[in-house]
Structure 1
Amino acid sequence: MRLNTIAAGQGPVVVLLHGLFGAAGNWGSIQKALAERYRVLALDLRNHGASPHAATMDQADMAADVAETLAAEGAVPAAVIGHSLGGKVAMALAQAHPATVLRLLVADIAPVAYPPSLRGYVAAMQGLALTPGLTRRAADAALAGAVPEAGIRAFLLQNLRLDLPVPAWRFGLDEIAAAMPALEAAPPLGPPYQGPVLAVSGTRSPYVREEHHAVFRSLFPAVRFASLPTGHWVHAEDPKGFLALAEAFLSE
């Protein structure tokens, strides 16, 4: 599948992959900064943003989408940066298509299976009545019981189109709901990726723990670890710190 791509800058290629419920535009300030030195491609994963919707959504398919898109863009090999689900897809890409990936930065995710902690968000969004005249305030109030964090509700509601006669979700919500077990799973195993890898985690995030480091090393022997004083959204909570790590890694 060819993915929607936002491109900026010239130079060596850097690819940005967003997380679950996100979109290419989430990388705005990071992409703009990196574009001063690189050709930066931010991709909408399948069933997200302006990319096509598809009934299947496992990590291998999503990695194949990225490989196909980069080949079509003449953007191989590339340095790949992925956050959360985008990090899982980036890891799957590096293992299945190693010639595509020059180096890999994985932001606050590990190559392990995760519990179904986000399915409540999906159910809440599926339960939102998409009726004409729906306002963002009313949608926010409807989600508040299942999604108590205002910042997360705002992030999810970026995907709600209220400009249509009948409101609709921009992403493929039903497809995402059906795919949650596959998305929660560990990335598909392949031969260890031998290229340089930087795993960046947030010190206040539960997603990457010390015991995950051994799993990283078994699949990515050249991995190094770094952390920032953030929660899960490392690049959004500390963009300067994230950029400093990313630019140093990319320039090696």
Structure 2
Amino acid sequence: MSVELNYQDTGGEGTPLMVVHGLLGSADNWRSHVKQWQDRRRVVAVDLRNHGRSPHAEGMSYREMAEDLLALMERLHIEKAHLLGHSMGGKVVISLARLTPERVASLIVADIAPQAYGHGHDAVFAGLRHLQRGNPANRREADELLAEHVDERATRLFLATNLERGESGGLVLRVGLDQIEAGYRDIMRAPAGEGAFEGPALVLRGGRSNYVPDSALPGLREALPNSRLVTLEEAGHWLHAEQPEAFQSAVNDFLNSLAD
């Protein structure tokens, strides 16, 4: 059964751009980009299940998350959309494009390949569990708790975007951490569906990221045969945050090249 996703909709005319965040992200992470894009087109930024303000539910398979996104399109009467997904969100939009290609005008996949990945979030999950048990009163305390497991300050700041003020006054996590950890093996798997998406696609990768190495390009070309590859040389995995202007420019050039 699909989950009724939370979303932010700018309104507007034409084929909308739907933006899908990565693991432990949310639609809120994309506010600055949405402000730029909304002058050109309708933008719908989505919170996936167990993320942001969307409901918590068992199951984190790509088929389930793609079906959630499709159900949102039905709810908003969106017949066809440009889909942009970062990291885990990239696998979600590839899944939707494989399962229902007629609903996808184009794909923009940010720093992820259509393949399985090894596990690499143990420290992050340990830090979030430690934060939960610590019941921090403010963001300084939350950062100190996370720092016992997560060294990189940029990662801690990103994780802290999932904090909100609880009923008792302390900070609590809004993500469905139990469900995400239980579904982590599925998150690391390849996207759902089979075959190729034949429509137009843009693949953006960070030059300092190891998520889309050159060795992944043959599989990427097989899954997205009509894709254009752009490397943002000075960016890592969070390329939209690290190189926002270059990211914006690449996305706008791609969308402007399409008949909308």
Q: TM-score range by the shorter chain?
A: over 0.9
| 3-state SS of 1:61 partner | helix
Cα distance between partner residues in 2 of 1:227 and 1:133: 39
- Cα deviation, residue 119, structure 1: 2.5
**One of 2, 13, 16 as aligned partner of 2:16:** 13
Task: List per-residue Cα deviations over 1:27-77 (Å, max 9, x = no partner).
Answer: 111111111111100000000011111011111100110011011101220
Match of 2:198?
194
Q: How does 1:159-178 map to 2 (within 5 A)?
A: 159-165=162-168, 167-178=171-182
The amino acid across from 2:111 in the alignment is D
Task: List per-residue Cα deviations over 1:175-213 (Å, max 9, x = no partner).
Answer: 111111110111124131110111100000111010111
- Cα deviation, residue 147, structure 1: 0.8
After superposition, the CA RMSD in angstroms is: 1.4
The amino acid across from 2:8 in the alignment is I
**One of 67, 72, 86 as aligned partner of 1:69:** 72
Cα distance between partner residues in 2 of 1:115 and 1:59: 16
- What TM-score, normalized to structure 1? 0.96
- Cα deviation, residue 163, structure 1: 4.1
Is 1:93 equivalent to 2:96 in the alignment?
yes
Is 1:134 equivalent to 2:137 in the alignment?
yes
The amino acid across from 1:64 in the alignment is E
Cα distance between partner residues in 2 of 1:136 and 1:247: 35
The amino acid across from 2:156 in the alignment is R
Match of 1:115?
118
Q: How does 1:225-240 map to 2 (within 5 A)?
A: 225-228=229-232, 229-240=234-245
Task: List per-residue Cα deviations over 1:4-36 (Å, max 9, x = no partner).
Answer: 110114122100000111110111111111111
| 3-state SS of 1:20 partner | coil
Cα distance between partner residues in 2 of 1:98 and 1:116: 29
- Cα deviation, residue 140, structure 1: 1.0
Match of 1:250?
255
Q: Does the 8 A contact of 1:14 with 1:81 survive in 2?
A: yes
Match of 1:209?
213
Match of 1:57?
60
Q: How many residues align?
A: 252
Cα distance between partner residues in 2 of 1:224 and 1:16: 19
More displaced 10-residue stretch of structure 1: 111-120 or 45-54: 111-120
The amino acid across from 1:149 in the alignment is E
Unaligned runs of 5+ in 2: none
| 3-state SS of 2:8 partner | strand
Is 1:223 equivalent to 2:227 in the alignment?
yes
- Cα deviation, residue 94, structure 1: 0.6
- Cα deviation, residue 164, structure 1: 2.7
Point out 4+ residue stretches in structure 1 off by more than 6 angstroms.
none
Q: Does the 8 A contact of 2:127 with 2:149 survive in 1?
A: yes
Structure 2 CA distance for partners of 1:101 and 1:129, relative to 1, 3 Å: closer
